[in-house]
Chain A
Amino acid sequence: MTWDVVIGLEVHVQLATRSKIFSGASASFGAEPNSQACAIDLAMPGMLPVLNADAVRMAATFGLAIDAELPAESVFDRKNYFYPDLPKGYQISQFERPIVGRGHLDLKLPGGGVRRIGITRAHLEEDAGKSLHEDFAGMTGIDLNRAGMPLLEVVSEPELRSAAEAAAYFRQIHVLVRYLGICDGNLNEGSMRCDANVSVRKSPSDPLGVRTEIKNLNSFRFLERAIEHEVARQIELIEAGGTVVRETLLYDPDRDETRPMRSKELSEDYRYFPEPDLLPVVLDTAQLDALRQGLPELPNAKRARFERDLALSAYDAEWLTSDPDVARYYEAVAATAGDPKLAANWVMGEWSAAMNRDAARTSPLAAEQLGRLIVRIKDGTISGKIAKTLFDALWKDPNKTVDDLIEAEDLTQVSDTAALAALVADVIRDNPEQVGQYRAGKTKVLGFFVGQLMKATQGKANPQALNELLKDALAEVRDR
């Protein structure tokens, strides 16, 4: 039988501030252990939190982008629990009055089509430190650099229906926060993490089944695999006559299994109460209006515009808008090149291959240079083949310009009909055997002649002119 799967996600977005959410300690990644944990992060006696204005701005920006209700006032609460990586014994979070209220995301479904997914809320909170369990002879090492990092926790409604949909939703939030510039999106540095609430039921009209929560998923692939695994486990359990228990699970990607988290065995009782050290946060209309004005073009709008105004295919538009840096680069290339489709081919082809090959984060080749290269293909100065050679040269030496290289290396395409015709005559004269085959109707041998001529011109022959000349010349031979 088929089962109805119900998934809700909590996505933790680490906000791209310079300093922490409640202290002036640096929020940069990869520093020496505890070198960025100040007295406030360490919960030294008498320390008081002061809220980072940019964390508030980024949270509100996210709220605007998902068309959410933004309450005039939001409140911080203490979430109480003991763990060695939480020095205060409580986490400052938001419970009853989060900064971002109900909104939504129009999810592009993996099988095509769009469905609106409700976002229940998004709240600000501080991250905890990191526990390291290896190599300390029975002890656990604690690094508190991450303590106090600003997080925006985005909670979806339980409206996702499969592991693939959940992964698509996570991806789309990832793209959105990068467009908004509020998160660097580096999953391998923990900048985005995700908890999945999973339950199954026999029919969509049944009440929701008992759910389990899978914690700390930090890649799209693990999220999808963990949910697939958990759905299968729940179905198997119920079909064998068992019942699902509400529990918190950790996914182990090496073994492809979920197991209960020991620290969560005690039923959760966080005893939330309003944080007395922080006053309510106010978002006024003027501030929200200014933020709304400053919103960038969002991924869905950009994709639609690429299809509509640049006449790109749905596939190309999707590909080019899935990363804001790529989209920005492409737009600059297309603007210089004056040919959106050809620019798309180059960005998606040579450029992206070179970026991947070199694992480059920023392009060594300026967009304007690539644009000018495309202009020279379009105006017939160089052939597509030569352009690829030039691309490699420009990639290696970004200080050179397209026109310098064309001149220096004498790469201008040979379109001079008389010169080409002489070469065509030579090739026909030197290869009587292939001419014979062609005359016998084996027209494929044309490729052989083109190859010979390209060799003779070092690839500079204008392929169109060449083809025409060659066909005419061979037809003449055949007629004789």
Chain B
Amino acid sequence: MTILEKDIDKLCALARLGLDADERSAARTDLERMIAMADAIAAVDTSGVVPLAHPLDATARLRADEVTEAVDRDAFQALAPLTHDGLYLVPRVIE
């Protein structure tokens, strides 16, 4: 399968990636090889096979509904570039 420029554009937009020409070209080669591998897998007859949700043959262990995490906001916010009155500040997003 051929990956088109517009496919790369869409994937970059979805993944928020800004790739230069060399990176785009490398990504295209990688993607074509990945898709080839997926195509090979897709050729196997899987009718009657239940899709695997998780590679481990186990089910979820649940947690009791209790408050166990103390939050040290100052410690967390020391990592953030910008905060104000306890809020994280980010470039404006408008709805």
Contacts from A to B (Cβ < 8 Å) = 17-19, 23-27, 32-40, 42, 50-56, 73, 75, 80, 82-84, 96-97, 131-133, 136, 138-144, 250, 261-263, 266, 269, 271, 274, 276, 278-282
Contacts and interface: CB of A to CB of B under 8 A. Distances in A.
Contacts of A276: 54
Closest 3 CB pairs of A and B: A24-B68, A141-B87, A54-B65
Interface stretch (B21-29, B31-39, B40-48, B77-85): B77-85
28 contacts: A17-B65, A19-B68, A19-B69, A24-B63, A24-B69, A25-B67, A32-B73, A33-B87, A34-B71, A35-B71, A35-B86, A38-B70, A40-B69, A51-B60, A54-B64, A73-B59, A84-B93, A133-B95, A136-B89, A139-B92, A141-B84, A141-B85, A142-B87, A142-B89, A263-B93, A280-B54, A281-B59, A281-B62
Contacts of B59: 73, 279-282
A55 B64 CA distance: 10
Given A25-B71, A97-B53, A19 B65 contact: yes
B18 interface: no
Given A33-B87, A42-B76, A278-B60, A140 B65 contact: no
A140 B53 contact: no
Q: Summarize A's interface: helix, strand, loop or mixed.
A: loop
B74 to A, nearest CB: 10
B63 A279 contact: no
Contacts of A39: 69, 76
B13 interface: yes
Contacts of A131: 93, 95
A56 B62 contact: yes
Contacts of B54: 75, 274, 276, 278-280
B53 A280 contact: yes
Contact of B95 (A23, A32, A263): A263
B59 to A, nearest CB: 4
A71 to B, nearest CB: 12
B14 A24 contact: no
Contacts, number: 144
Given A25-B69, A25-B71, A53 B63 contact: yes
B43 to A, nearest CB: 21
Q: Summarize B's interface: helix, strand, loop or mixed.
A: loop
B56 A33 contact: no
A53 B62 contact: yes
Interface residues on B, range: 35 or more
A73 B51 CA distance: 12
A166 to B, nearest CB: 23
Nearest to A144: B88
Contacts of B93: 83-84, 131, 133, 140, 263
Contacts of B69: 19, 23-26, 38-40
A458 B62 CA distance: 66
A136 B71 CA distance: 24
Contacts of B88: 34, 84, 141-142, 144
B33 to A, nearest CB: 19
B6 interface: no
A82 B16 contact: yes
Contacts of A36: 71
Contacts of B92: 133, 136, 138-140
A250 B77 CA distance: 32
A18 B91 contact: no
Given A271-B14, A279-B58, A34 B86 contact: yes
B20 interface: no
A84 B64 CA distance: 30
